[in-house]
Structure 1
Amino acid sequence: MKNLYLLVILFSLISLNNAVYAQEVQEEEEHETKFKQQPGLAKAASKVFFSEKPWSVSGFGEISMVNRNDVPLGMEDDIELSYNNLYRFSTFFGYRFTDKIIWNSEVLVEYLMDPNGNSHFEFILEAFMDFSIHKSFNVRTGLYPLSLGYINNNDEPVMFGSVNRSDVERIIIPSTWMGMGVSFYGIMSPSLNYTLGFSQGLDGSAFRSGTFVRSGREPRFDGNAFTTFSVNPQINYVGLKDWTFSGSAYIGQAGDNQEITDSNNNVRRAESVVQIYSAYARYVQKNWEFIALATTGYMSNTADIYQMTAQANGGVGEVMAKQNIGYLVEGSFDLLSLFNNRNFLRKKNFMIDPHEVKVPFFVRYEYIDTHKNYNEKLLAESNANMVHFNSDIITVGVNFKPREEIAFKVDYQFRNNRATGPYAAKEDNLLELGIGFIF
């Protein structure tokens, strides 16, 4: 009889443990994210659209460190691509005048330092308004994120695994990229949604060869603000469970109607058109994530851009790519899912939410060629400048996410530039550390 009592007690304990674990699994499956996304915006930036109050305050922050020894050739003019220490804080202030008219604004402050002791402080103000007319047709106007690629609309630090955004989406697609203009978006069917934007063009005189259009993407508010224009369509298919398929494009002018003097001493208006095309497939399941993205950029009349940059840079002209390409493949798996018994995470506190804690391990391969095709005749000019990345980049890293709003990150990059010769950029392996949060 004593043995029978012991068996009953043992069975009861096992049943209780299984019941507790089953309840935790069910609660995890029923747990809803605290942050929702409005089309074209990341999580914190979307808060005003779902707030119970007519106003909202949200934002994100990040602190990142990179063990960089030298500033990479061609990156001297953009410290965000060559920093050792980064401190960034952004706050969104939103207000719903009505359910149909929503104001959203951002105040961003960042401070960066590079290996040479240079530092950069930036204070940025952005604002736009949404007019929710119908689920199939809405309007956004002001200074807003362009819908191109993946990261540009998902740029908050808890929304991607690596400490920094990939080179593919920092150089060819120069994330983060804000446009001044008007955008239309909506849901055409349960499987299809779209965006169609019209905004300012690019400042071709600010282009740098190693970073394509990145240095010319800044919005302008002077007399040349709308001398050039661009169009930016995107379409997303979400009809397959757990999958998103997206295609997007940017086609814009870059000549800025500036006067240039050609080789025959003729004065005329510069003309150039930039085209960027991108597509990605993304799979998100409870413990797995996968993304594959490809993009390519084209630039016409790079000789005109050479003249524009030479006039702006004391005679040094930039040899821009006629075409460049980049692609990446990334997979992520939550290591914490390997532990069936997670009793050590049962208690919720200010740092850890048992329903949300994850430890995703990821591997990403990317390839970028900044000058797949270019005007070789321009290199014969005495003051020609060109920086060529033809690089393979493998990034391996892990995050600790104690809750949806926080991510502790570490990754290591193996970087190799296939380009050779005097125009090849130097590449070094990098260790990156970061902390990111949203609220």
Structure 2
Amino acid sequence: MKKIIVLQWVVLMLLSLYSKAQESSEEDKVPDTKFKQQPGLAKAASKIFYSEKPWSVSGFGEISMVNRNDVPLGMEDDIELSYNNLYRFSTFFGYRFTDKIIWNSEILVEYLKDPNGNDHFEFIVEAFLDFSIHNSFNVRTGLYPLSIGYINNNDEPVMFSSVNRSDVERIIIPSTWMGLGVSFYGGITNDLNYTLGFAQGLDGSSLQSGTFIRSGREPRFDSNAFSTFSVNPQLNFTGIENWTLSASAYVGQAGNNMEFTNSNGTIQTANAVAQLYSTYIKYTQKNWEFMALATTGYMSGTDDLYHITKEGSGGVGQVIANQNVGYLVETSYDLLSLFSNRSFLRKKNFMIDPHDVKIPIFIRYEYIDTHKNYNQKLLEEDNVNMVHFNSDIITIGVNFKPREEIAFKIDYQFRNNRATGPYAAQEDNLLELGIGFIF
């Protein structure tokens, strides 16, 4: 199965690149048409909105390898956070019924394997409709990406430097995070746009201590699908040349209105609310980029969550943080810009576009504290699970981008957990290798 998936990706990538090379064989006469982004969507996912035809096929793929020796404490139930090998391929199918009504859908296939020999195959489908009413007011409904942080709307592998997404945007801000609901978006001015979404809340019974709300983000389609709900606003400002400033939030119910038996033997309904706030700034120039992102999360009713996770997971209750924090700072510089004479680059072919070639080297520092504040009395309960990351992570790496659609990546992570005691997660330095592409 794994070999078939990899072969499929390679064939599709080569066909896509060959097609683009053929279309642009007269590059000296006609400039390239670059990938564009629709609000709330990454580059490949946005293709239908800019296609000259009423339909489009696009997508992305990635192959990643990590020299992980063991599954970190607390990551046993989420193989995507602790894999050694990852193979991911996504295809978007879009159709424009009219200029105002646009259908978009994604089929994503994943195969992962961890150092303990466990593997996981997943098949994911998402679909949503956009109603383009006015530049200042549009509607998106269905199963769509929530607008929070940076990665969730820029999750294709050519859109971030490291092989893996940052831990800040995997453990505290879960990515990729799909919501089932409706979202309104548009431009307030030419430089300021907004998103306001209303979607399902979280499944509190699925939460894991070490990853905050990540395990509760999966969409539900049962009779209680909308028994909980959430609000998700975002503002983006681009009025300063080369800069993007963004602020976003998520407030949603997490108890799922489930009943449980408390310590006194009384039956009660779980009541918990999750809050997540994030902001980032990004500067992009010709040869270098800078980005800083910060986030903090809050959870009320963590004693209720302890009880409903205990009843739903074989008698082990999760200690979810009342507050956590995370931030990162990253900068990159294109090493190829040091060469004033680029005559060694050949003319455009299916693999290399001389106008797009870059070799960015980057460094990123990130910090996460998954339990900045928590209910310490819960540790006195029986059958408690708590996983504490209070980690500094420094990532150094380099990409080779022969054209806009492809990235070859290598990076090394220096990881240190400041937390001590029986609930501290174990950290190891990691070497990561990856290939990513979009089409």
Q: Cα deviation per residue 1:209-251 (whole Å; 9 max; x = unaligned)?
A: 0000101000000111000000000001110000000000000
Contact 1:42 1:153 (C-alpha < 8 Å) held by counterparts: yes
Equivalent in the alignment of 1:319? 319
> What secondary structure, in the 3-state scheme, does the structure 2 residue paired with 1:189 have?
coil
Q: Cα deviation per residue 1:377-427 (whole Å; 9 max; x = unaligned)?
A: 000112011000000000000000000000000000000000000000000
Runs of 4+ in 1 over 6 A off after TM superposition: none
- Give the partner amino acid of 2:365: Y
- Give the partner amino acid of 2:164: N
User: What is the TM-score of this pair, normalised by structure 2?
Assistant: 0.93
CA distance in 1, matches of 2:308, 2:359: 49
Q: Cα deviation per residue 1:298-350 (whole Å; 9 max; x = unaligned)?
A: 00010000001000012100001000000000001000000000001141111
Equivalent in the alignment of 1:390? 390
Q: Deviation at 1:268? A: 1.3
Structure with the greater alpha carbon radius of gyration: 1
CA distance in 1, matches of 2:45, 2:141: 15
Q: Does 1:416 align with 2:419?
A: no
| Mapping 1:135-174, distance limit 5 Å | 135-174=135-174
CA distance in 1, matches of 2:353, 2:313: 53
Q: Deviation at 1:32? A: 5.4
| Mapping 1:347-358, distance limit 5 Å | 347-358=347-358
CA distance in 1, matches of 2:120, 2:380: 34
| Mapping 1:65-144, distance limit 5 Å | 65-144=65-144
> What secondary structure, in the 3-state scheme, does the structure 2 residue paired with 1:379 have?
helix
Contact 1:31 1:355 (C-alpha < 8 Å) held by counterparts: no
Contact 1:145 1:153 (C-alpha < 8 Å) held by counterparts: yes
Q: Cα deviation per residue 1:118-143 (whole Å; 9 max; x = unaligned)?
A: 00000001000000000000000000
RMSD: 1.1
Q: Does 1:223 align with 2:229?
A: no
- Give the partner amino acid of 1:247: A
CA distance in 1, matches of 2:438, 2:224: 36
Change (3 A) 1:167 1:31: farther
Equivalent in the alignment of 2:374? 374
Q: Does 1:425 align with 2:413?
A: no
CA distance in 1, matches of 2:93, 2:315: 44
- Give the partner amino acid of 2:430: L
Q: Does 1:58 align with 2:70?
A: no
- Give the partner amino acid of 2:419: A
> What secondary structure, in the 3-state scheme, does the structure 1 residue paired with 2:322 have?
strand
Q: Does 1:46 align with 2:37?
A: no
Equivalent in the alignment of 1:345? 345
Equivalent in the alignment of 1:283? 283
Structure 2 residues not aligned, in runs of 5+: 1-26
Structure 1 residues not aligned, in runs of 5+: 1-26
Q: Tell me how many residue pairs correspond in the alignment.
A: 412
Q: Deviation at 1:33? A: 5.1
- Give the partner amino acid of 1:156: E
Equivalent in the alignment of 2:365? 365
CA distance in 2, matches of 1:95, 1:31: 26
